[in-house]
Amino acid sequence: MRTPKTIAAFAAAALVLTSVAACSNTPSTNPSGGQPGGAGAAITVRGCTPQHSLLPTNTNEVCGGNVLDASEAKLVHYSSDDASPSLDIAESIETTDAVNWTVKLKPGYKFQDGTEVKAKNFVDAWNWGAYGPNGQISGYFFEMIEGFADLQCGKDCATEAPTAETMTGLKVVDDHTFTIKTTTPTSNLKVRLGYTAFAPQPDAFFADKSEGKKEFAKKPIAAGPYTITEVNDTEIVLKKFADYSGKLTGSVDTVTFRIYNDLGAAYNDVVANNLDMTDTIPSGYLVGDLWKQDAEGRNAIKDTGVFQALSYAPGDVDPGLADVRMRQALSMAVDREQVTKTVFNSARIPATGWVSPVVDGYKAGACTNCVFDPTKAKQLYDEAGGYPGTLSLWVNGDGGHDEWATAVCNQIKNNLGLACTVQTTPDFATLRDKINKRELTGMYRAGWQMDYPSIENFLTPIYATNASSNDTNYSSAEFDSLLKQAAAETDSQASNKLYQQAEDVLNKDMPTMPLWYQQSQYIWSTNIKSVKMTPFSTFDFGSVEMA
């Protein structure tokens, strides 16, 4: 799902997706569904350090997002099988023109403090999240709502404050009804509303006067199946919410995310039954399917909407990468087939574009510059004038990336005659902070986990001008125009074609280097009989069946 985001100035939408046919759990000692864990049942899961506070509008990276996925309830829920949307808190979400929407809530749906979820809890939460001075990194998710621009600051919130505090496109009709008006047709709005940023907030949230709601974030009050009861540097503990109103009840009483900075340590702890689940297998254990041998009968693979790439530092930060021929050369110098085979034992799929195969609209071969061609790569490299000094490839040290990053650097060295070195930050949060501050030169890891199942989600948030996760400062009028056209197109096939044309523009400009699509391999302890992973590469805690 996720990489950190900032407020964006670009609004776009996409088609409603009805299925994600490529998703499946294999091999299958892992049945569909699960049985309750029983009274007092508890599990431990590999976790990582959240980059930001645990607020729905300020958490859109994996470490914090995995926690909120278990604790928050939204209007819409995504199926753990194929990511298809279904109503959760919403009783209905209706529109006749994809601009004016009416949302009706199920009466009696409760927050974890016992108060009822009402229409104002959505409207007030969304307005607070979109309001520029609140600095919420997921605020951009509300940009399609009429009046969003009025809630944004100029260059500096201290001197150029917003002209409004609430969006004109949100109106409370009654306790259980509110309306949404978008600035342009937004045909996939219903799909989007299952994302974490659209969660409601209880009255207690607004009563907290601490800066950035920091006090509330220590123990957030949500409406989902699990309540966050403890957050510290070593673990995040969630307890089952006894009065949960929805249908997606957790099957165990306690879920503890243990923070690991070493993937190998987490893996070994699961093998030794000292940890119950890990969602990431160190690459060394993928070779020869060692991971399947170590966790025989307690392992599975899930096709997920996760895409891995390398972002190029913006040209004003690293002038050596400003020439598109340099970016093309670096991409063509990497043999993705070899890396995925030797490092990942073919557990990754070489990327041929910027969109995951699990969503409708995927087009194979979109990235012609992803084809390994060392001769052409060297020609383009020389035409670009070469890279001054040593090229850095940055990864986070707690993600198990050293082996593939070293392999990629070595290929660049061998095929271009360019010095390349892997640089490692202590953890994911540190890497993201440096990227956000534009402190890194060279290239850096850019994983993307889909927020919602749409081709648009792999394009707009990352590459639209000033978009939320546009780490490269990429800007293309042609690309932006195609996104707008696709967003306004109500016919899904026509919309897909426009998004594919936008992807062709990325191929021309190469703001990032696609690497591979991810299948998620995961294992569990002998304490667990089975557990399902979702297409978002997160565990479905309602599916856990204890041994």
State the pLDDT at residue 495. 87
What is the pLDDT at residue 37? 59
pLDDT, mean of residues 455-464: 92
Strands (E), 54-123: 76-78, 85-87, 90-95, 100-105
Identify the residue whose tokens are 């927050």: 111
pLDDT at 35 over 60: no
305-519 adopts what CATH topology?
Answer: Dipeptide-binding Protein; domain 3 (3.10.105)
pLDDT band at 155 (very low <50, low <70, confident <90, very high): confident
- Per-residue pLDDT tens digits for 95-145: 988 899 999 999 999 999 999 999 999 999 999 999 999 999 899 899 999
Q: Which two tokens stand for residue 219?
A: 């123990």
Cβ atoms of residues 164 and 151 within 8 Å = yes
SS (H, E, C) 196-242: HHHCCCCHHHHHCCCHHHHHHHHCCCCCCCEEEEEECCCEEEEEECC
Q: State yes or no: pLDDT of 354 exceeds 70.
A: yes
Note the pLDDT of residue 8.
Answer: 31
CB 487 within 8 A of CB 464: no
The stretch 283-290 carries a mean pLDDT of 88
Q: Which two tokens stand for residue 195?
A: 């994302």
Structure tokens at 14: 């996409």
Give me the percent of the chain exceeding a pLDDT of 90.
73
DSSP state for residue 28 in the 8-state scheme: S
Residue 289 clears pLDDT 60, i.e. is over it: yes
Of 331, 316, 315, 311, which is closest to residue 380 (Cα–Cα)?
Answer: 331
What's the number of CA atoms in the CB half-sphere (13 Å) around residue 29?
15
Neighbouring-strand partners of residue 180: 101, 170
pLDDT of residue 530: 94
User: In terms of C-beta density within 10 A (0-12 exposed, 13-18 middle, 19 or more buried), how is residue 163 classed?
Assistant: exposed
Burial 224-241 (b: 16+ CB within 10 A, else e): bbbbbeebeeeebbbbbb
Say if residue 10's pLDDT is above 80.
no
**Tokens representing 329?**
């050369």
For position 98, what pLDDT does the model report?
86
Q: What is the pLDDT of residues 496-506, one digit of tens each?
A: 999 999 999 99
Please choose, from the candidates 436, 437, 487, 438, the residue with its C-alpha nearest in 3D space to the C-alpha of residue 460.
487
pLDDT grade for 61, boundaries at 50, 70 and 90: confident
Whether the pLDDT of residue 481 is over 80: the answer is yes
pLDDT of 413 reads 97
Q: How far apart are CA 545 and CA 33, in angstroms?
A: 8
Task: Convert the pLDDT of each residue in 226-235 to its tens digit.
Answer: 999 999 999 9
- Over 60: is that where the pLDDT of 336 sits? yes
Highest mean pLDDT of the ranges 6-10, 71-75, 133-137: 71-75
Rounded distance, CA 426 to CA 96, Å? 50
> Which residues have a Cβ under 8 Å from the Cβ of 172 and sit 6 or more positions away?
119, 120, 123, 178
Q: Does pLDDT of 221 surpass 90?
A: yes
pLDDT above 50: residue 474: yes
Q: Does residue 263 contact residue 240 with C-beta atoms inside 8 Å?
A: no
Question: 366-406 pLDDT, tens per residue?
Answer: 999 999 999 999 999 999 999 999 999 999 988 889 999 99
Mean pLDDT across the chain, nearest whole number?
90
d(CA 342, CA 539): 27
Element (H, E) at 283: helix 283-286
pLDDT at 191: 87
**Would you say 505 and 277 are in contact if contact means Cβ atoms under 8 Å apart?**
no
Q: CA–CA separation, 430 vs 482, rounded Å?
A: 34
At residue 522, what is the residue type? Y
Average pLDDT over residues 517-526: 93
pTM > 0.95: yes or no: no
The band of 23, judged by pLDDT with boundaries at 50, 70 and 90, is: very low
- The residue among 198, 122, 120, 130 whose CA lies nearest residue 162 is 130
8 A C-beta contact, residue 228 and residue 67: yes
Tell me the per-residue pLDDT of 268-277, one tens digit each, with 9 for 90 and over: 999 999 999 9
Residue spans per domain, the chain: 305-519
312 token code pair: 């190029």
Separation between Cα atoms, residue 402 and residue 441, nearest integer Å: 18
Average pLDDT score over residue span 185-194: 88
The reported pLDDT for the residue numbered 36 is 52
